[in-house]
Amino acid sequence: MDARLEVYEDKMKKTFDHLSTEYAAIRAGRANPHVLDKLRVDYYGTPTPIQQVGNVTVPDARVIQIAPWEKSLLKAIEKAIQTSDIGINPTNDGNVIRLVFPELTEERRKDLVKDIRKKGEEGKVAIRNIRRDGNDSFKKLAKEEVSEDEIKQLETQLQKLTDGYIKDIDALIESKSKEIMTV
């Protein structure tokens, strides 16, 4: 692949990976430890991911259990979860924190699917913006004595990359929507 294209492919891949990460954090009625990925706990003055201050397990389909390595962290973890946008109240029994995920209602599932589609559209727009930036930079190459055929070839390859990533995003939207709507 042309080195001038690699920059744009890398940006597209990062956009796709970011969307995948966001989708992993959307809960589908089942307990998924990835909903905790963005949460940070104040650990001796340092914001630290929950997974690094305790053991995160999924003992059953709708429960996440967090067992901190230091009991003093229970309150901090509980507070981090309560102030987050997860929408679940933690229960603290003095040893572990449990997050019980309620069964999603049909209406809530549809709202989540709308949110998934919206994030997917934003991802596609970002991919298309990267393509536009690439095409703009290729047009500037014409001033540097690069043949029009070569520029057309670069634009065609960039379009193929764009189409591939848009297709991947569509597949991701479809699979996550299906996962959410499955009861």
pLDDT digits (tens, 9 = 90+) for 86-106: 778 888 888 899 988 877 788
Query: Contacts from 153-158 at CB under 8 Å and sequence distance 24+?
Result: 154/2, 154/4, 154/5, 157/1, 157/2, 157/5, 158/5, 158/8, 158/131, 158/134
Sign of the Cα torsion 135, 146, 164, 33 reads negative
Same domain, 63 and 10: no
Q: Among candidates 65, 71, 73, which has minimal Cα distance to 36?
A: 65
- Are 79 and 127 contained in the same domain? no
Q: What is the CATH number of the domain that holds 69?
A: 3.30.1360.40
Please enumerate in sequence order all residues whose Cβ is within 8 A of that of 75, keeping only pairs 6 or more positions apart, or say none. 92
- The residue-averaged pLDDT of 127-140 equals 92
Kindly state whether residues 170 and 130 are assigned to the same domain: yes
Same structural domain, 88 and 126: no
**Mean pLDDT, residues 29-50 taken together:** 82
| Residues 85 and 114 placed together within one structural domain of the fold | no
Contact of 13 with 128, CB cutoff 8 Å: no
Residue 11 confidence (pLDDT) above 90: yes
Q: Do residue 109 and residue 96 come from a single domain?
A: no
Same domain for 143 and 173, yes or no, is: yes
What is the residue range of 43's domain? Answer: 33-100
User: Does 19 share its domain with 59?
Assistant: no
31, 58 Cβ separation under 8 angstroms = yes
- This prediction has a pTM of 0.72
Residue-averaged pLDDT of the chain: 87
Work out how many domains the chain is built from and give that number: 2
